């Protein structure tokens, strides 16, 4: 009987793989997951090109800033460079895919705290990867923003657990939206948390293998190499360099990849762990880094890359020890794709890297919702289902 059950399960698994691979091959689905942490994606020729983008904002030594953007003009597009001489000069961003245009001022920012008291309600999402349509759908449907992309979440917290860069075509626009919402949330007593994922770190440290063709074409048109889009003399570059790789909000740790035993063994407070990663961002490759800084950039063990928790390779004792070490009862991770939001290690770890692009094409979005200490899955209609 047991053998029959095993054979039946194996048959179902092989059927799932066969159908999944066929759907990927014909472009119906983007990815088929073999097991947590390993999937195959359909690689289509990248035909993206010159299209609306920006603004890029580069500061000059006198404090003024050069703004460059690509905007629609009639049936075409035009490059618009100009100079902003006053700190209160506002910015605007146009999203071609959704037709949304939003205006916002620049605001002051600095290194983020690593720990926060518990919030009454939190929307937690990751791995948007330049998918503005899906992000807007989710934020509007869950009550975080209105149709004009204004913050409507009151004292709630929006937690982005890394990977806004690469793969998608509205990376710049997504970044500016969260930049704008950060200031609006603060005014309302809420908070936007933007954690660095491995793709943020890659783009800030000169690794562009997932970059879409559009950005190289736009960079040529703007006469600004892509390598200079997020340097420390740009508004978004400065903003990103204030962000953390791990934060604790109430009893919950948030980190893009996970905390490996090697990183935990450093016994660093979260503030120092974040500072370690930020220091490594502008270091040339790994030359001259301390052993701890090299660990912060290690593509298998660093907080933005580690997959051992999502794949349940780390011992349960390690998970319990890390949570104890940082005064938490659970950890939310991203980075490793899952088909649905998945509790691991008896609920001590929650994996949230959903296939958002596929979901957007199908007309829906989902994310993690935390309210009153309870976890739910929320969709773009605001409907919640407990985990």
Looking at the domain assignment, is residue 33 inside a domain? yes
Please identify every stretch of the chain with a pLDDT value under 70, giving residue numbers as ranges: 20-32, 34-43, 284-287
Is the same domain home to 177 and 314? yes
- Both 343 and 261 in one domain: the answer is yes
145 and 62 part of one domain: no
Same domain, 327 and 357: yes
Q: Report if residue 259 sits inside a domain.
A: yes
Sign of the dihedral defined by the CA atoms of residues 287, 293, 295, 297, in that order:
negative
User: What pLDDT score does 168 carry?
Assistant: 95
**Residue-level pLDDT at 39:** 63
Pairing between β-strand 366-371 and β-strand 349-351 as defined by DSSP bridges: unpaired
The answer to whether residue 165 is domain-embedded is yes
Cα–Cα distance for residue pair 73/183, rounded to 1 Å: 30
Would you say 286 and 240 are in contact if contact means Cβ atoms under 8 Å apart?
A: no
Taking the C-alpha atoms of residue 197 and residue 126, their distance in angstroms, rounded to an integer, is 9
- Using one digit for the tens of pLDDT, what is the confidence trace for 55-113? 999 999 999 999 999 998 877 788 999 999 998 899 999 999 999 999 999 999 999 99
The answer to whether residues 59 and 31 belong to one domain is no
- Asked whether residue 105 is assigned to any structural domain, the reply reads no
Which pLDDT score is estimated for 291? Answer: 86
Instruction: State the pLDDT at residue 313.
Output: 96
Give 64-111 as a 3 state SS string.
Answer: CEEEEEEEEECCEEEEEEEEECCCCCCEEEECCCCCCEEEECCCCCCC
Residue 48 in domain = no
Statement to judge: residues 125 and 196 lie in one domain: yes
Q: What is the CATH number of the domain that holds 245?
A: 3.60.21.10
The reported pLDDT for the residue numbered 25 is: 52
Does residue 58 share a domain with residue 37? no
Whether 373 is in a domain gets the answer: yes
Pairing of strands 246-249, 115-116: parallel
Considering the domain architecture, whether residues 77 and 134 belong to the same structural domain is answered as no
Beta carbons of 199 and 207 less than 8 angstroms apart: no
Measured between alpha carbons, how far is 383 from 65 in angstroms, rounded to an integer? Answer: 43
Domain count, the chain: 3
Compute CA distances 21 → 32, 74, 361, whole Å. Answer: 6, 42, 18
Looking at the fold, whether 92 and 127 belong to one and the same domain comes out as no
pLDDT in tens, 123-162: 999 999 999 999 999 999 999 999 999 999 999 999 999 9
Do 329 and 203 belong to one domain?
yes
The pTM of this model reads 0.88
Our measurement of the distance from residue 157's CA atom to the centroid of its chain's CA atoms, rounded to an integer in Å, reads: 15
Cβ partners under 8 Å of residue 252, min gap 6:
328, 329, 330, 331, 332, 370
Residues 187 and 309 in one domain: yes
Q: Could you tell me if residue 110 is inside a domain?
A: no
Q: Do 241 and 329 fall into the same domain? A: yes
> For residue 78, what are the domain limits?
53-100
Residue 107 lies in a domain: no
């Amino acid at each position: 009987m047991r053998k029959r059950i095993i054979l039946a399960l194996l048959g179902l698994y092989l059927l799932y793989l066969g159908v999944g691979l066929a759907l990927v091959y014909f472009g119906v689905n983007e990815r088929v997951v073999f097991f947590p942490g390993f999937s195959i994606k359909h690689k289509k020729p990248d035909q993206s090109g010159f299209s609306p983008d920006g603004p890029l904002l580069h500061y000059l030594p006198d404090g003024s800033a050069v703004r460059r953007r690509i905007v629609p003009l009639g049936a075409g597009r035009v490059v618009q460079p100009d100079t902003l001489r006053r700190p209160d000069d506002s910015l605007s961003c146009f999203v071609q895919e959704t037709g949304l245009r939003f205006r916002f001022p620049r605001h002051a920012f600095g290194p983020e705290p690593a720990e926060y008291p518990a919030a009454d309600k939190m929307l937690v999402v990751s791995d948007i990867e330049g998918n503005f349509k899906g992000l807007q759908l989710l934020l509007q449907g869950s009550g975080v923003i209105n149709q004009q992309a204004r913050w409507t979440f009151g004292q709630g917290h929006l937690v982005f657990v890394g990977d806004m860069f690469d793969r998608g075509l509205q990376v710049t626009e997504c970044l500016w939206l969260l930049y704008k919402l950060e200031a609006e949330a603060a005014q309302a007593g809420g908070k936007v948390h933007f954690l660095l994922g491995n793709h943020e770190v890659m783009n800030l440290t000169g690794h562009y293998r997932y970059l879409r063709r559009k950005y190289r074409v736009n960079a040529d048109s703007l006469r600004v190499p892509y390598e200079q889009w997020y340097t420390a003399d740009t508004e978004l570059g400065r903003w990103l360099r204030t962000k953390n790789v791990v934060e604790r909000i109430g009893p919950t740790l948030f980190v893009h990849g996970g905390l490996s035993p090697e990183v935990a063994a450093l016994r660093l407070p979260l503030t120092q762990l974040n500072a370690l990663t930020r220091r490594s961002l502008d270091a040339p490759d790994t030359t001259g880094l301390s052993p701890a800084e090299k660990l912060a950039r290690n593509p298998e063990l660093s907080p933005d890359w580690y997959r051992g928790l999502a794949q349940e390779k780390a011992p349960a004792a390690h998970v319990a020890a890390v949570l104890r070490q940082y005064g938490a009862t659970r950890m939310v991770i991203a980075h490793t794709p899952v088909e649905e939001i998945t509790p691991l290690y008896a609920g001590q770890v929650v994996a949230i890297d959903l296939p958002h692009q596929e979901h957007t094409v199908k007309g829906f979005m989902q994310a993690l919702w935390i309210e009153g200490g309870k976890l739910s899955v929320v969709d773009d209609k605001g409907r919640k289902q407990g985990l």
